[in-house]
Amino acid sequence: MDGMYAQELEVAVKAVHMACSLCQRVQRRLVSAAAAENHVLSKDDDSPVTIADWGVQAIVSWLLSESFGSQNVSIVAEEDIHALSNSSSEKLLSSVVEIVNECLDEASKFGLQKPNKVIRSSEVLEAIGRCNATGGPHGRFWVLDPVDGTLGFVRGNQYAVGLALIEEGQVVIGVLGCPNYPLNKELLSYHHQPYHNSKLPSGSYDLWEKGCVMFARRGSRKAWMQPLAHQDMQVEWPYEAKLISVSSVHDPAMATFCEPVEKANSNQSFTAELAHTVGLRKQPLRVYSMVKYAAIARGDAEVFMKFARCGYKEKIWDHAAGVVIVHEAGGVVTDAGGRPLDFSRGIFLEGLDRGIVVCCGSILHEKIIGAVYASWDSSNL
C-alpha cells in the first residue's frame, strides 16, 4: 500500500481482519450453543447487542491507538460503555475481555504485534470508552460500525464490520469486512445457517466458501478484496488481494437491486414501485448490513436503494466505508436528489434528500433519480 494514507489503510485492513476473526468466534458460539441468551442482550431501541459489538470496538480502538498513539486517535462508534461498565454486567465484561485476548494472541496471523501482556478489563473499558467522538466538518476521525446488521449476525446470516477514516468532512479510506459473504454470489439470496446447514450436499464446501475484506482509498480509482483467513488456511500475512469492480450491466431488466431485509427503517413498497417504474424486473436481493455495498462493489448486484420511513435518521457508520469502496470500484453513490452524501455534520447524514441510491454506473443512476422525482409526490413517504 503506497501513497497518501498508506499506513492508515494498512492498519485499518489488519484491524478489520482481526475484528472479523473475533466475530466468527462469537457467531460460532451463538449458533452452536443453547446458551445464546448469555451472549445477547437488548439495547433501548430493541436491537440485539452482542459480545462481538464490544469486542470489535475494543480491538479496533486498541490497535489504532497502539499504531498512532491514543492522543492522535478519535473514533465515532455505535456502542457506548455504559451498558458494559455497570455492576450487573461483570459476566458480560469478562466474556468481552476473554474474546479480545483470544484474538490479540493471534495478532501475528494478521501482521500485527502481539501484546506483551494480557489486556485487562480496565484497558478494554478504556478502549471502548475512547470511541466517543461526535464527528463534524474539521479534523480527522475514524468511523466504526463494530457489527453492522446485528440481526443478521445473531441469525447466522450476513453482517459486516465497517471502518472508515474521515478527514475534513471527506471519507478518505474505507474497509469493509464481510465474514459470511459467499464466494458464489447466488448464495447471497439463500438465507442459510452458515455453521449448521443439513441441506448442504456433500462435497460442496467450495461453493459455500465465504468471507472477505474489501478496502479502498479515496481518489485511487481502485478497490481491493482479500479473503478472510480460515482456521485451516496455511497462509501468512499479507494475504493476496485482487482488484474488484462494479458490474457492467446497464439494462434495468438485467439488473439486480438490493434493499434492507428489515422493514422497520425502509419503505419497501416505494422501492418496489420505483423498481417497476425503472424497469427492474428481478426480485429484490434483501441483505443485512453494508454487505449491500459489497455486493455492488464486487459486481454481484447493480443497484441498492434505501428510502427510510419518516423519522428515521441515517447514521454515518452505516455508510461511510461502503460509499468510498463502491465509488473507487467505479460506482455512483448519492442521495435521491443526486447529491453526494455529507459526512461532515456529526453522527447523522444530515440534509439527506429523501433516500440513498447506489448504482454500478451513471446510466442506471440517472434513470432511478428521474423515477424518484416522477414518483415521489404520489408516495406515502
Q: Is 91 exposed, middle or buried (0-12, 13-18, 19+ CB in 10 A)?
A: exposed
- Reported as a pLDDT band with limits 50, 70 and 90, residue 201 is very low
Task: Specify the higher pLDDT residue, 266 or 220.
Answer: 220
Letter for the amino acid at 139? G
Does the pLDDT at position 302 exceed 90? yes
Assigned domain for 203 exists: yes
> Positive or negative CA dihedral for 315, 321, 323, 326?
negative
Residue 207, pLDDT score: 47
- Last-in-domain residue among 244, 273, 288: 244
Cα–Cα separations (whole angstroms), residue 154 to 68, 182, 215, 322: 33, 17, 25, 22
Q: Are residues 142 and 208 in the same domain?
A: yes
Assigned domain for 307 exists: yes
pLDDT above 70 coverage of the chain, percent: 86
Assigned domain for 1 exists: no
Q: Are residues 165 and 74 in the same domain?
A: yes
Q: Which of 69-83, 86-100, 218-232, 328-342 has the highest mean pLDDT?
A: 328-342
Task: Specify the higher pLDDT residue, 240 or 218.
Answer: 218
* 356-368: pLDDT as tens digits: 999 999 999 999 9
Q: Are residues 206 and 319 in the same domain?
A: no
Question: 173 Cβ partners below 8 Å, 6+ apart?
Answer: 5, 8, 9, 12, 164, 165, 215, 216, 217, 218, 324
When the pLDDT of each residue in the chain is averaged and rounded to a whole number, the result is 87
Q: Are residues 287 and 229 in the same domain?
A: no
All three cell numbers of 82, joined, read 455504559
Assigned domain for 143 exists: yes
- Last-in-domain residue among 244, 279, 301: 244
Q: Are residues 234 and 279 in the same domain?
A: no
Q: Are residues 80 and 189 in the same domain?
A: yes
CA angle at 6 for the pair 225 and 22, rounded to the nearest 5°: 50
Assigned domain for 337 exists: yes
Task: List phi, psi (to 5°) of 113.
Answer: -80, 125
Cα–Cα separations (whole angstroms), residue 331 to 66, 96, 256: 34, 37, 14
* 117-144: pLDDT as tens digits: 999 999 999 999 999 999 999 999 999 9
Q: Are residues 294 and 347 in the same domain?
A: yes
CATH number at residue 293: 3.40.190.80
- Give the helix/strand (H/E) hosting 175: strand 170-182
* 144-161: pLDDT as tens digits: 999 999 888 888 889 999
Cα–Cα separations (whole angstroms), residue 156 to 26, 31, 185, 196, 268: 11, 7, 17, 9, 23
CATH number at residue 98: 3.30.540.10
- Last-in-domain residue among 244, 265, 300: 244
C-beta separation of 343 from 320 below 8 A: yes
Residue 346, pLDDT score: 96
Q: What are the residue numbers of the active site?
A: 53, 150
Letter for the amino acid at 60? V
145 is in an annotated binding site: yes
Q: Is 199 exposed, middle or buried (0-12, 13-18, 19+ CB in 10 A)?
A: exposed
Q: Which structural domain, as residue segments, surrounds residue 339?
A: 252-378
Does the pLDDT at position 193 exceed 50? no
* 68-95: pLDDT as tens digits: 999 999 999 988 788 888 888 888 899 9
Assigned domain for 212 exists: yes
Q: Are residues 163 and 54 in the same domain?
A: yes
Assigned domain for 45 exists: yes
Q: What total number of domains does the chain contain? A: 2
Q: Are residues 272 and 334 in the same domain?
A: yes
Task: Specify the higher pLDDT residue, 336 or 50.
Answer: 336
Q: Are residues 23 and 82 in the same domain?
A: yes
Q: Are residues 27 and 96 in the same domain?
A: yes
Does the pLDDT at position 203 exceed 50? no
Q: Are residues 171 and 312 in the same domain?
A: no
318 is in an annotated binding site: yes
